[in-house]
């Protein structure tokens, strides 16, 4: 067995196992940690097929940013596990139904995908030796420029939306206004008085 | 058997020795960085610093290490044991694996990968996990507060670091660290072209490594040292080593991105005579000195001031610089043609 094949099986197995643990772990923080392990192994698989840029972006964006926020939220939660398990039998039929629908869809998609003859040739070989960062950049900024920009705009709308949803004006909060502090002059705030001894101000 | 030996075992053995050749000096450097820190701060405060163990206190780091090693590892009753033990390991391992892509000289690099900068950025953005896991698993309020402060802080300053890295990438035209250094050989060091970004980078790496004046996660006066308060013995030592190894790693990144990596400052005789790795080490020491200098000089930031500095000052500045760099490169057609 070649080293690459061994690594593929190892990382694939850990990916699947940790994905299962994400939904079966009792402690939600453990779930997030398993999710991170899953992301890592997916990044490893990306490296194995030579998509190093995607691998790094996966780690930076999902593990370095998104999962940190998940972790934040999950650590703050005060979850009562007994109450969470209540009504498990009650909701089981609905859950099973949703699961079945999803499974059927997946099987259908996977089935057609596997059966179709390859109509398009595999990814066209690049004329020159270009690393995949450069190749991705060229594609994104030329052929898919519009889609790329629209994706950026969607993200911008999401940012503005998140801020609009959470921003609230609170009264009675003292805030530091740096510009005001910097522009304060001694003449506006200081008064020098000559005080006679024994008299007071 | 012979084929297996030449195809797998021999390369693996070489790799292990290469890794050891990086890790062992690094750990030694970490030990003596703690010594250097105490000595430099002592000199700045007109004290002598460690003087008792060995000549000029030179064996002090080893004595400290031994002391931590023989102490008892205490795991709090309410702690989440697996995560509690995992957290210092994560911090320490992450501080070490970043070194895989640092070029010590032309061609002297463990893994010369195409996305070296992104790899370093990924590793440094993962550093937050060690702290957040430690804070949560300790099941202690102080530790948790420290972890929360730290993760918010590190996520905030990473954005500025990312944008600064983009400016450097636009100038160098490559994500490969060796290629970035070679580009600096042609264009001059980026500390001259991107001087404001170099300053912002220095401030950001101080915040990223939780060092003074941004050491709020371990603010002893309000958090009794924060996220690592429940740790003792070797688990504490791993955090400590990880923090210092991270400082050295960040200094190495600053040296490679801005100070020309292994390049001598002038391409003339007495300077070119000194080998490249030594130049890199000298530059790393210079940046480390700034770390220590800042600690000896500056008071600690207030938390809201820290956040405002990151989001309202450094982020817009570095974003504007990215636009400026891209504009200048486009207008004067300076884009490096280096393929690969």
- In the predicted model, what is the mean pLDDT of residues A83-100? 83
User: Does the distance separating the beta carbons of A56 and B119 come in below 8 Å?
Assistant: yes
pLDDT band per the 50, 70, 90 thresholds, residue A119? low
Choose the weakest-confidence range: A3-12, A14-23, A135-144, B219-228: B219-228
CB–CB of B39/B197 below 8 Å?
A: no
User: Does the distance separating the beta carbons of A29 and B155 come in below 8 Å?
Assistant: no
Q: What is the pLDDT of residue A113?
A: 66
Q: DSSP for B29-77?
A: HHHHHHHHHHHHHHHHTT---S-SSSGGGTTHHHHHHHHHHHSPPP--T
Of B115, B132, B133, the CB nearest to A56: B115
**Predicted model pTM:** 0.84
- In the predicted model, what is the mean pLDDT of residues A191-200? 82
Contacts of B126 in chain A (CB under 8 A): 59, 63-64
Q: What is the pLDDT of residue A157?
A: 96
Listed as ranges, residues in chain B with pLDDT below 70 are 1-2, 218-223, 337-340
The interface predicted TM-score of the complex, written ipTM, equals 0.81
User: Does the distance separating the beta carbons of A130 and B122 come in below 8 Å?
Assistant: no
Q: What is the pLDDT of residue A23?
A: 86
Of B80, B158, B175, the CB nearest to A133: B175
Half-sphere exposure of B279 (CA within 13 A, CB side): 23
Q: What is the pLDDT of residue B145?
A: 83
User: Does the distance separating the beta carbons of B122 and A64 come in below 8 Å?
Assistant: yes
Contacts of A3 in chain B (CB under 8 A): 8
Q: What is the pLDDT of residue B339?
A: 43
Contacts of B125 in chain A (CB under 8 A): 59-60, 63-65
User: Within 10 Å of residue B212's Cβ, how many Cβ atoms?
Assistant: 17
pLDDT band per the 50, 70, 90 thresholds, residue A14? very high
Instruction: From residue B32, give the alpha-carbon distance in Å to each of B28, B35, B299.
Output: 6, 5, 25
SS (H, E, C) B281-320: HHHHHHHHHHHHHHHHHCCCCCHHHHHHHHHHHHHHHHHH
Q: What is the pLDDT of residue B221?
A: 67
Of B114, B121, B122, the CB nearest to A131: B114
User: Does the distance separating the beta carbons of B304 and A64 come in below 8 Å?
Assistant: no
Widest CA span of chain A, in angstroms? Answer: 105
Q: Which residue of B has its CA nearest to A67?
A: B129
What 8-state DSSP symbol labels residue A125? P
Contacts of B114 in chain A (CB under 8 A): 52-53, 131-133
User: Does the distance separating the beta carbons of B151 and A64 come in below 8 Å?
Assistant: no
Mutate which of A131, A137, A176 to test chain B, going by most B C-beta atoms within 10 A? Answer: A131
Contacts of A29 in chain B (CB under 8 A): 80, 83, 136
Which is more confident, B100 or A117?
A: B100
Which tokens belong to B181? 């250094």
Residue A118 has pLDDT above 80, yes or no: no
Contacts of B80 in chain A (CB under 8 A): 27, 29
User: Does the distance separating the beta carbons of A27 and B122 come in below 8 Å?
Assistant: no
Q: Which residues contact A38 (CB under 8 A, 6 or more apart)?
A: A15, A18, A19, A22
Query: Could you report the per-residue pLDDT of B36-83, keeping only the tens digit for each?
Result: 999 999 999 999 888 888 888 888 888 888 888 888 888 888 788 888
Which is more confident, B39 or A73?
A: B39
Chain A nearest CA to B1, separation (Å): 14
Residue A135 has pLDDT above 60, yes or no: yes
**In chain A, domain spans:** 1-79, 88-118, 128-163
Residue A126 has pLDDT above 60, yes or no: no
Query: Could you report the per-residue pLDDT of B230-256, keeping only the tens digit for each?
Result: 888 888 888 888 889 999 999 999 999
Q: Which CATH architecture has domain A1-79?
A: Up-down Bundle (1.20)
User: Does the distance separating the beta carbons of B340 and A68 come in below 8 Å?
Assistant: no
Q: Which of B83, B79, B138, B339 is nearest to A30 (CA)?
A: B83
User: Does the distance separating the beta carbons of A72 and B158 come in below 8 Å?
Assistant: no
User: Does the distance separating the beta carbons of B305 and A63 come in below 8 Å?
Assistant: no
Residue A178 has pLDDT above 90, yes or no: no
Contacts of B155 in chain A (CB under 8 A): 65, 68
């Amino acid at each position: 067995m070649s080293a690459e094949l061994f690594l593929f099986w190892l990382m694939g197995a850990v990916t699947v196992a940790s994905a299962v643990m994400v939904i079966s772990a009792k402690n939600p923080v453990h779930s997030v940690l398993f999710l991170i392990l899953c992301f890592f192994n997916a990044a490893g698989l990306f490296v194995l097929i030579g998509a190093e840029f995607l691998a790094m972006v996966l780690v930076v964006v999902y593990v370095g940013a998104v999962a940190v926020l998940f972790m934040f939220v999950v650590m703050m939660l005060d979850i009562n596990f007994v109450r969470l398990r209540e009504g498990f039998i009650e909701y089981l039929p609905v859950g099973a139904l949703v699961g079945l629908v999803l499974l059927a869809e997946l099987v259908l998609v996977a089935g057609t995908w596997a059966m179709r003859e390859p109509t398009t040739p595999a990814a066209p070989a690049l004329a020159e030796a270009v690393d995949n960062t450069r190749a991705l950049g060229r594609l994104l900024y030329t052929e898919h420029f519009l889609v790329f920009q629209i994706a950026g705009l969607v993200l911008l709308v999401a940012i503005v939306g998140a801020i609009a949803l959470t921003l609230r004006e609170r009264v009675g909060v003292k805030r530091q206004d740096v510009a005001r502090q910097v522009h304060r002059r001694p003449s506006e705030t200081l008064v020098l008085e000559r005080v006679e001894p024994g008299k007071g101000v | 058997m012979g084929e297996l030996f030449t195809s797998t075992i021999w390369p693996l053995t070489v790799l292990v020795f290469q890794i050891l050749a990086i890790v062992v000096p690094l750990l030694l450097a970490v030990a003596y960085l703690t010594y250097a820190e105490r000595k430099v701060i002592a000199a700045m405060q007109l004290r002598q610093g460690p003087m008792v163990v060995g000549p000029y206190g030179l064996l002090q780091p080893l004595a400290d290490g031994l002391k931590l090693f023989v102490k008892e590892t205490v795991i709090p009753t309410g702690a989440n044991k697996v995560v509690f033990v995992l957290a210092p390991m994560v911090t320490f391992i992450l501080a070490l694996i970043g070194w895989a892509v640092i070029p010590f000289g032309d061609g002297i690099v463990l893994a010369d990968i195409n996305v070296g900068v992104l790899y370093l950025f990924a590793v440094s953005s993962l550093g937050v996990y060690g702290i957040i896991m430690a804070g949560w698993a300790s099941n202690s309020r102080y530790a948790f507060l420290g972890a929360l402060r730290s993760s918010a802080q590190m996520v905030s300053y990473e954005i500025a670091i990312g944008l600064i890295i983009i400016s450097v990438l636009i100038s160098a035209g490559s994500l490969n660290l060796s290629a970035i250094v070679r580009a600096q050989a042609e264009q001059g060091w980026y500390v001259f072209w991107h001087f404001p970004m170099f300053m912002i980078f220095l401030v950001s790496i101080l915040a990223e490594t939780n060092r003074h004046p941004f050491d709020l996660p371990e603010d002893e006066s309000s958090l009794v040292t924060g996220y690592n308060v429940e740790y003792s013995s070797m688990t504490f030592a791993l955090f400590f080593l990880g923090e210092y190894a991270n400082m050295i790693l960040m200094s190495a990144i600053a040296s490679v991105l801005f100070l020309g990596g292994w390049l001598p400052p002038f391409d003339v005789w007495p300077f070119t005579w000194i080998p490249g790795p030594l130049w890199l080490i000298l530059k790393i020491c210079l940046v480390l000195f700034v770390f220590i200098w800042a600690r000896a000089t500056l008071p600690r930031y207030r938390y809201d001031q820290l956040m405002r500095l990151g989001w309202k000052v450094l982020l817009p500045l570095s974003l504007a610089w990215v636009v400026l760099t891209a504009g200048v490169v486009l207008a004067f057609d300076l884009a490096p043609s280096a393929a690969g």
